[in-house]
Structure 1
Amino acid sequence: MCKLHSQPKTLLSAFNLRNKPSRHQQPQLSTATPQHHQGEMPPKKRSAPSAPKKARQSKLAKAHDISATEENEIKEVFQLFATSAADFPNEKEGVIAREDVRKALVALGLAPADSRELHDILAAVDPTTTGYVLYEPFVAVAAAKLRSRDEDAMAAEVDAAYQLFTRNTDGPITLGHLRRIARELKEDGLGDELLRDMILEANGGAGLEAGVSLEQFHDVMTRAGVF
């Protein structure tokens, strides 16, 4: 994610979905073979740089919708607090003491919001109050906290971008708002007809007076690949 509220031109371009080139409008690449003078060696072809290999997700990471990198971060912190317990001899990653769960989550930047949330987390990761937490339940809780944090951050960013158009009001985005943004950006090619089309495209043809709601704005930005 990027700081969209500092990039109004990006947002306005995302609104203009109808002006995006189709697959059939891509520039054509020349297929002509370059000519070389007699006695000259043709230039060596450069091999394309190989993309870095993406770490493969484990079954556990896939089950909890986190990346391999995110699971590795969780595992590293878990291992900082890991210990062995006679009741869990077969736990490859070890276990962590119940009282260390909060510290581990804080180390991940996922601190419980309050004592009630901590109580719920401990009940989830150690339901039989053994005093120890296994790796898989800890990953499940950390993954849920990660997703919640990402969703909250995105919601805040969408709201900030939306209010850039509405001048810090609840909305909806109107034709007047788009005119102002286009004028401030000196986008002279965006006439009223195109701005109207942008609103109707965003709100599903609900009419100009309906404007564009926060939810519709989020959908437009998602389809345009901004979020």
Structure 2
Amino acid sequence: MPPKRKAAFAPPPNPTPQPARPSKLAREHGITAAQEAEIREAFSIFAIHHPDYKDAKEGVLRAEDVRRCLIALSLPPAKQDVKEILETLDPLTTGLVPFIPFLSYAAICIHDRESVSGSPSASPEPISRKGKGKQKAGTAPSTTSQREINEAYALFTHNTSGPITLAHLRRVARDLREEVDDEVLRDMIREANGNVAAEGLGGVGLEEFEGVMKRAGVFG
């Protein structure tokens, strides 16, 4: 009996799996699908479910677990920088950090690591914002610092060109499950804009936002 012939279009054995396509969230933060999956896995190890975040399917991190989670991602922050990190991720000091703000910060750390090493696979150095942000007067901010400012700004504007408006601040407060009076939010905008009159409230542009962040010591 002659040997059986293979089907004309039989699939090759053990086809090479195609890499996962990055989600919209990953694309917005400039990370790969694998990097997003790694962040999600580390977050899930430390995440808890909290009654104030019933809609957060990923849960939330307790403030004291943020550093542990970053260490699990091989993105260890310097101990002296943890306070600044928490001020960025939990500006209303709720003691809890949702997934998206954490992912945004982790993505910034990944970009920092790759910009220093030139390779995603290189071992990261401890991340210290205080040290790297120092600049001489009159010099332009570093590329890394400017990217961090742009990404932080995008968190407030929901990835639009801005400016940050009262509605944006309301959304942030709502996402953090915080009751913040509109007048408090207006005062934040007035202060960022040099204490302008109420009738000229407007919004906070990127330049004003950068000034606020630098005065607060978040970026050098």
Shorter-chain TM range is 0.3 to 0.5
TM-score, normalization by structure 2: 0.47
Please tell me whether Structure 1 or Structure 2 has the larger radius of gyration of its CA atoms. 1
TM-score, normalization by structure 1: 0.46
By relative contact order (CA 8 Å, sep 6+), the higher-ranking structure is 1
